[in-house]
Chain A
Amino acid sequence: MTISLNLNGKTHSVEADPDTPLLWVIRDELKFTGTKYGCGIAQCGACTVHIDGAAVRSCQVAVGDIEGASVTTIEAVSGPEAEAVKQAWQELDVVQCGFCQSGQIMQAVDLLAQHPTPSDDVIDTVMGGNACRCATYTRIRAAIHHAADILEA
């Protein structure tokens, strides 16, 4: 069926089974490949996008369920938190292979929107679902604190 989807500020008309996970519509239909597949069962966070501003695992969202919602991916995420997070990721050279980092960044942006000065415990809780097999975790933690400092300044 035809589904209308607002992605990165633009309305797209997509031919898809309504049960199709949003992840695969974003990647294979709309060709925004910054959002990654890592597990398909919400265990790794690589597919994290924002739906109406909130971080969501796009592998678990049926595209038919979000008509009218606004979806944002790594390619278009913006705003003060996003700018601060990207700046912090850049200044600390967080990435290694980079495959999980779109999801890490999308989750961290939401984290900072909810918790402008997060404690380590909050970071552990909110970021605990985002796996990084390169184990860039200590830099992710430092970068989130750094981004909080940038936002505060």
Chain B
Amino acid sequence: MTTTFSRRHFLQTAAASAGALLVVGFDTRGALAMTAQSGGNFTPFVKIYPDGTVAAIIKHFEGGQGTATGLSALIAEEMNMTLQDITFETAPADNARYANLFFGAQGTGGSSAIANSFMQYRTAAAATREMLVGAAAQTWEVPFDTLSLKDGVISGAGQSGTISEFVEAASAMDVPAEPRLKDPSEWRVIGVDQKARLDTPAKINGSAKFSMDVQLENQMVVSIKRSPQLGGTVASFDDSAAREVPGFIMAIQMPNNKGVMAYAETTWAAFQARDAIEVEWDGSAAETRSTDALKAELLAMVNAAPEFRASETDLATSSAAIDAAARIIERDFYFPLLAHAPMETMGATIEPLANGGVMLHDGAQSPAAGHAVLSQVLELPMEKVQVNTMYAGGFFGRRSTPDADYLVELALAFVVTDRTRPVKLQWSREDDITGGYYRPAYAHKVRIGLDDDGNILGWDHRIAGQSIFKGTSFDAFMVKNGVDNTSVEGVRENPYQLPLHHIGLTDQDGPTTPNWWRSVGHSHTAYVMECMMDLCAGAAEKDPVEFRLGYLSGDGADQSRLAGVIRLAAEKAGWGQPLPEGHYHGFAAHKSFGSYVAEVCEISTETDGTVTIEKFTAAVDCGIAVTPDVIRAQIEGGIGYGIGHVMRAELTLEGGVVDQSNFHDYETLRIYDLSHIETHIVASSAPPTGVGEPGTPPAGPALANAIAASGAPLVTHLPMTANGVNFS
């Protein structure tokens, strides 16, 4: 992944849209439509209202990760105003203007929002600033350099005026080819440690609107009855009991036969009607396997010759060195299927518009996907499909899937109607947990050879699991020589300089629709790497932190930055210092999505071995820290997501049917599981990288290593509670 920013691309985009948008506006519903008298868009990313209010147009949805605040901070900085004074609006669907510069399409993922936008948003706002100041200079007939913009006021040369006075004149100016960006020494927003999330007020008074909150006049709510057996299809159905449900409208078999859609006046009626529909399922193409058998298959795969090689070093060379070593350490690992289970279950609404088009109301992780799906399924030209991107109640990757699942369902639910009423699709929690869109299960097998002094001589690492990207439209980008990079990322390109490191991969024909899940491949690879580093350190009779640093002695940025967070986390946690009786530390560090995170987990144990997680101490190097407190929050949340799942979460299948259905048996982290997290951010002038995911990978292994430090066996098969660990 590259962070190189194409200036030319920006300017073309900006030139195409600046000014022109001033008169046409971009929201066909009229709410935001503007005229030259009422305000202006100077670039796709900045809007100025007649009263001088500045709005950042955010191209990445806000699903809790703090993007709205982060992107607004970039605009506020170059508009030379405070975060408290700026507001934000979500961008419409428009790949030309709002593409994620790493993806080439509009969408959020890979912890890339700030990284791909950092130069783009600052440049956009700096251009806006120069146009406004330029317009003032022309009006007052004074040199440009004598004026400056601060807090919405342009002043200098004995003159002063608010930006709203110059919106119209500025909009007629050329977009500056190379606006001057503020020097970091002038920054008053970027890097300022403040609690100023822009979405906090709406989220503490109930006014924030999520997809689930859409309440349109005359809308129908659809709930879908899907096959309990993954992949089953409808043979026939009987809706006679559903007809008794007050508010029931109709039941229709999905055009793709994947379920029966219950339409009702309210969500509750739709759920009730859905439950009352009797379906005879065709299971001829459905999943029939159980996770016990699938797990056994994965473990057999990693104990056999791998299907693909993902390393320079081949198996024979690595194995020869290991076989000849003084000591060999080997472990296998198992990672179960996991649901993302964001608090807001999937759903979205299609609203028919007077012009024959539609508006999609969605917490859109990928507006481009919704835009394209609706255009195709409803056979509407792209310009007749609008997207209103709303708040998302968490996502962790779930609101975007390779097959755009819930958006396709919604489009099908709408297309079979007479298209006069809005249609809202709503998943229940049971739909979410049993829905089949999961982090695939993986097994790893690692064999490491050590010499008499505890130095690693060879590392054979085999992974088996279901590929996330094979067979999707991203196949060409993500799969090379048979290896889906997301199956091996974190083992491959790990900053540790390991000798004779062989990486083998075997694909499993898995049971689910695989989906990226917060930190994707790193969600399992970091666990294995960091547990094995601890085992090696133990065998070498070396301190785990010192042992890790020994493999990061190179001059590369990867090595020095990972070593930097390792040292910082160790120092802040008091690593190596005496702990209270019955308390233990565990360490883990990992690079993902360009960011480096080290975490120390402190646990205490009771005499019967019951584990209490006392504290996490984290250090993160994510380059320039744009909004430090948002970074801290993401590391906190990432740690919670990481440990929450390794502790208790697992989905199992019996005959292709998911055993779990809701939070009572797909257990989530609770407030009593974790009381204290301390996050330290490395000061850096490197380009910013993401924080939404990188906090998650080290959390599980830090906990596992702490438990092992207490004298209990290292937990290699997850979740921990199913493998001998009790938590208080």
Contacts and interface: CB of A to CB of B under 8 A. Distances in A.
B674 A24 contact: no
B268 A131 contact: no
Contact of B212 (A20, A37, A92, A134): A37
Given A93-B200, A135-B641, A130 B636 contact: no
B393 A127 contact: no
B158 interface: no
Interface in B59-98: 63-66
Contacts of A132: 343, 671
Contact of A95 (B204, B344, B674): B204
Contact of A96 (B268, B341, B345, B637): B637
A71 interface: no
B517 to A, nearest CB: 12
A133 B669 CA distance: 7
A124 B391 CA distance: 29
Best-surrounded residue of A33, A93, A130, A139 (most CB of chain B within 10 A): A93
Determine which residue in A43, A46, A91 has the highest number of CB atoms from chain B within 10 A of its CB, and name it. Answer: A43
Given A74-B205, A133-B396, A133-B668, A97 B64 contact: yes
B367 to A, nearest CB: 18
Contacts of B663: 38-39, 41, 43-44, 131
**For chain B, what secondary structure do more than half of its interface residues adopt (helix, strand, loop), or is it mixed?**
loop
A89 B203 CA distance: 10
A36 B644 contact: no
Q: Which of B197, B393, B671 counts the most chain A CB atoms within 10 A?
A: B671
Q: Which secondary structure dominates chain A's binding surface?
A: loop
B342 A133 contact: yes
Nearest to B668: A131
A130 to B, nearest CB: 7
A21 B196 contact: no
B662 interface: yes
Interface string B408-450: 0000000000000000000011000000000000000000000
Q: Which of B206, B633, B669, B670 has the most CB of A within 10 A?
A: B206
Contact of B676 (A20, A32, A138): A138
Contact of A99 (B394, B633, B675, B676): B394
Given A34-B205, A135-B669, A93 B629 contact: yes
Nearest to B677: A138
A90 B202 CA distance: 10
B48 to A, nearest CB: 27
A94 B197 CA distance: 9
B13 interface: no
Interface in A97-152: 97-102, 105, 120, 123-125, 127-128, 130-141
B266 interface: yes
Contacts of B268: 20-21, 24, 28
A139 B672 CA distance: 13
Given A74-B206, A98-B64, A138-B636, A128 B670 contact: yes
Contact of A138 (B215, B267, B674): B674
Interface in B458-516: none
Interface in B186-209: 195-197, 199-209
Nearest to A138: B677
Contacts of A44: 343, 429, 663, 668
Given A28-B215, A31-B215, A120-B675, A96 B633 contact: yes
B299 interface: no
B671 A137 contact: yes
B206 A34 contact: yes
B428 A98 contact: no
Contact of B195 (A20, A36, A92, A96): A92
Contacts of B664: 41, 43
Contacts of A96: 64-66, 394, 633, 637
A98 B195 contact: no
Contact of A89 (B204, B640, B662): B204
B206 A33 contact: yes
Contact of A97 (B201, B392, B672): B392
B714 to A, nearest CB: 24
A124 B394 contact: no
B246 interface: yes
Contacts of A35: 206
A137 B640 CA distance: 8
A146 B209 CA distance: 27
Residue picked from A92, A127, A138, most chain B C-beta under 10 Å:
A138
A135 B344 contact: no
Interface string B339-375: 0011111000000000000000000000000000000
Interface of B: 63-66, 195-197, 199-210, 212-213, 215, 221, 246, 266-268, 271, 341-345, 391-396, 428-429, 629, 633, 636-637, 639-641, 644, 662-664, 668-677
Q: Which 10 A-B pairs have the closest CB atoms?
A: A34-B206, A135-B640, A97-B64, A99-B393, A98-B203, A96-B64, A74-B206, A24-B268, A33-B213, A124-B672
6 contacts: A39-B429, A40-B271, A94-B204, A97-B64, A128-B670, A131-B670
